[in-house]
Amino acid sequence: MTKQIAIPCILMRGGTSKGPYLKGADLPADAETRNRVLLAAMGSPDARQIDGLGGADTLTSKVAIVSPSEREGVDVDYLFAQVSVDKAMVDTSPSCGNMLSGVGPFAIETGMVPAKGDTTSVVIYDVNTQSRIEALVQTQDGEVVYDGDTAIPGVPGTAATIRLNFMDIVGSKTNALLPTGAASETIDGVAVTLIDVAVPMMIFRAQDLGKTGYETPAELDADKAFFARMEAMRREAGQRMGLGDVADKVVPKVAMLAAPRDGGTVAARYFVPHKTHAAFAVTGALCVSSCVALSGSVADGIAQPAPGDDRMMLIEHPSGILDVALKTAGSDASMQVISGGVIRTARKIMAGEVYVPAAVMA
């Protein structure tokens, strides 16, 4: 009989994503062995992920690994892992702002951070992007409060508010707001902005690739020629941004923009990158908002941002509108992104143990 190894976990919805949250101490220190464990836990590679916790979708094949932090002024370290559904591949190069929403509650649930009053501040170090985020979690009587009246697009019902204040978000992978130094440039005859705020991205106007920007994810995913051209552009963008060969990586991510039509600042579609996001990634929203604030970017002429340097950016996406509070200073290529904040929610779904074959530990 094959021996099974039990690993404690809490299955949580974080924002518009879902996956197991694990303690770093409960996983192998070696990255290769750890990745085998994560693949086994999620049931990958398999299109249905029938033998694991994965939900057969990129948004539900994610893992958050959380550990007490030894960094000054930081409570916990968060490592995000994107587990491929149908390939034996685990990518820790990007982060996930939606899964980040559950890190604060998980840290409190597991005793890494004590609950304090009605709102508990959890300072998180994002290992993927080497940045800090403050999560403000609703608490009561020493426990996380999950029930509330905050609704976010892409999630049914309402839940308690979790405020994420992002710091140190410029140059997450490239150490620069504009890795090439240009607010706009051309790839394959298409104007793009290559920008790195919370996540490296290639952003273009929908009309420049024959789209309206209002298509549903299903409509976009069905257009294989569109994805093939976009992927070729993304690989070139990765080279220009100093990320090397990104064929087997999920960064840079991609977004396309269109003029708003529902009272927002801009309409956008986000790609992850080989599929259209059903809603919008938090990190991607921070990056797109920064692109909108940047004069000379591909957002010029189509986005409708409010005046000033401290403003709300409302991103229209397939599931609704995502609000980003963005504070900047300066303009053009010298623009500084001071901070970005978003409102998310999370929910604890299950606490227990996930079992993996002992063989994957070898």
- Are 117 and 265 members of one domain? no
pLDDT at 279 over 60: yes
- Are 198 and 117 members of one domain? no
pLDDT at 118 over 80: yes
- Are 67 and 117 members of one domain? yes
- Please report whether residue 76 resides in a domain: yes
Q: Tokens for 37? A: 């464990």
- Are 331 and 356 members of one domain? no
Task: Please give the full DSSP string across 168-193, using - where no structure is assigned.
Answer: S-BTTTTSSSSTTS-S-EEETTEEEE
- Please report whether residue 61 resides in a domain: yes
The distance in angstroms from the start CA to the end CA of the chain is: 16
Could you report the per-residue pLDDT of 194-208, keeping only the tens digit for each? 999 999 999 999 999
Full residue range of the structural domain in which residue 293 is found: 185-339
**Averaged pLDDT score across all residues of the chain:** 96
Instruction: Compute CA distances 193 → 47, 186, 238, 253, 283, whole Å.
Output: 34, 8, 12, 12, 16
- Please report whether residue 211 resides in a domain: yes
Nearest Cα residue to 226 out of 209, 214, 213: 209
Determine the average pLDDT of the residues in 273-279. Answer: 94
Determine the average pLDDT of the residues in 26-30. Answer: 97
DSSP letter for 60, please.
Answer: G
Residue 124 near residue 164, CB atoms below 8 Å: no
Residues pairing with 296 in the sheet? none
Query: Which CATH number characterizes residue 237's domain?
Result: 3.10.310.10
- Please report whether residue 267 resides in a domain: yes
- Are 216 and 249 members of one domain? yes
pTM of the full structure = 0.79
- Please report whether residue 171 resides in a domain: no
- Please report whether residue 291 resides in a domain: yes
Determine the average pLDDT of the residues in 227-235. Answer: 98
- Please report whether residue 152 resides in a domain: yes
- Are 204 and 324 members of one domain? yes
- The total number of structural domains in the chain stands at 2
Residue 306 near residue 312, CB atoms below 8 Å: yes
- Are 80 and 141 members of one domain? yes
- Please report whether residue 167 resides in a domain: no
- Are 122 and 198 members of one domain? no
Could you report the per-residue pLDDT of 182-196, keeping only the tens digit for each? 999 999 999 999 999
Per DSSP, helices labelled H in 241-320 are 282-293
What pLDDT, on the 0 to 100 scale, is given for residue 39? Answer: 98
- Are 102 and 76 members of one domain? yes
DSSP letter for 241, please.
Answer: T
pLDDT at 331 over 90: no
- Are 257 and 353 members of one domain? no
Q: Is the preceding omega at residue 156 within 30 degrees of 0, hence cis? A: no
What pLDDT, on the 0 to 100 scale, is given for residue 362? Answer: 84
When pLDDT is cut at 50, 70 and 90, the band that residue 2 belongs to is: low
When pLDDT is cut at 50, 70 and 90, the band that residue 1 belongs to is: low
When pLDDT is cut at 50, 70 and 90, the band that residue 42 belongs to is: very high
- Are 35 and 20 members of one domain? yes
Query: How many contiguous H segments (helices) and E segments (strands) does the chain have?
Result: 6, 18
Q: Tokens for 183? A: 């607010």
- Are 59 and 201 members of one domain? no
Instruction: Compute CA distances 7 → 37, 38, 41, 332, 355, whole Å.
Output: 10, 11, 9, 49, 6
Q: Three-state DSSP class for 231?
A: helix
When pLDDT is cut at 50, 70 and 90, the band that residue 128 belongs to is: very high
Task: Please give the full DSSP string across 252-268, using - where no structure is assigned.
Answer: SEEEEEE--SSSSSEEE
Q: Tokens for 225? A: 């020629």
Determine the average pLDDT of the residues in 8-13. Answer: 98
| % of the chain surpassing 70 pLDDT | 99
